Structure 1
């Protein structure tokens, strides 16, 4: 990987307090997410991981400090792959329609997708090895196939960074590994990835940096630095 100093920052959190109704669940957060980085976010349930994700996406304003997306990166830089719900899994719509919906924010008052958007959606399906599923009903796919469809949708909404919330939850080991391989390929091609996960083994395998959120604060550093940290020694033994 290139030296971090040479990389452009995509999202910056400066002395950020993140939370709801002026009450921070995570305080004094100082991190920069750089282009091409792979960051895994870990921590106990209720520690503030979901609050962090919503703040990075601009859905929550910080209680204090700042959370800023680089203006030079531009609108549409961030794509989001949320946790699936049962309703989403059973949604009666074609795979291509799901993927194309990633462009909805760009359409404004246009009633139809344009040729460029259709070509881009097809390219992402091909890239993730599921082009043959384009006409299939999304609700009839396996869990692993559905997650790759949603990943293709997120790619239509982003060109710089993907934010993923527990993307392998509920997947069997083969499907989970396939999804990890897809994300690693995107990472190697320059996409920045921020992934919330409970899968410590793959977090330590794939990530450039670990953001560990706890009741006592947070750790942000390389995988090697994390393995040597006191927080890791406690967390990895559980």
Structure 2
């Protein structure tokens, strides 16, 4: 089942084209890794998929309610005085489910608890987000995205600022969500270690070209270029 079709997409800002004539399909159950140097177009593509910028040419066809697209931004530095608890952060992921209701209900609170439990961090529920380690914060932000949807997640460099062991653990969690929970994932990563380039498909921004295809084909291409 196709969730998103990207057709001959050109994206950019004002008169500057960043991505030109890109086409690919996101199918249910996909794990698509997006790699490339800074400024290559990775973040621009995500903004396009989230509807934050309009295509210059081509189009994006959604066969999924866009409310079912969850987004996990890059982890940013949090002020030590930031008062939000882990529960409040994760609950904020359910805002699109409230409709006209002004307050979270039992359903949203259970969903937040389930999202925390899925990542084995329910014990952090009452902790201050600002007091957590980098790895714990990333899990909380992922839990927030899971509270928004269990259909499709877009992860923007989720391993940023994590040490090796935390990064490895986080990748295992993402793989489990994809394989066991059936969640479709698009993950941007700056980690070019072939071990980290995971999933079944890849979009690689390389100089003036964009490789779109299967992971094994990309690995073969990289091996042949050595």
The number of residues matched between the two structures is: 224
Alignment match of 1:132 (pick from 96, 99, 123): 123
Deviates more, 1:217-226 or 1:93-102: 217-226
User: How big is the alpha-carbon RMSD for the aligned residues of Structure 1 and Structure 2?
Assistant: 1.8
Quote the residue 2:70 is aligned against.
79
Q: Deviations over 1:42-73 (max 9, x none)?
A: 11111111100111111111110001221xx2
Distance 1:143 1:41 in 2: 22
Are 2:220 and 1:228 aligned? Answer: yes
Contact 1:23 1:63 in 2 (8 A): no
Partner in structure 2 of residue 54 of structure 1: 47
Aligned with 2:213: secondary structure? Answer: strand
1:194 counterpart = 2:186: yes
Q: TM-score, normalised by structure 1?
A: 0.88
Aligned to 1:33: 26
Give distance in 2, aligned partners of 1:61 and 1:203: 31
Equivalent residues of 2:154, 2:187 under 8 A apart: yes
Q: CA deviation at 1:198?
A: 1.6
| TM-score, normalising length: structure 2 | 0.93
SS of residue matched to 1:12:
strand
Aligned partner of 2:149 in structure 1 is: 158
Deviation at 1:114, TM superposition (A): 1.2
1:20 to 10, 13, 34: 13
Point out where structure 2 has 5 or more consecutive residues left out of the alignment: none
1:98 aligned to 2:92? no
User: Of the candidates 105, 109, 116, which is equivalent to residue 118 of structure 1?
Assistant: 109
- Which of the residues 26, 46, 56 maps onto 1:63? 56
What are the ranges of 5 or more consecutive residues in structure 1 without an aligned counterpart?
1-7
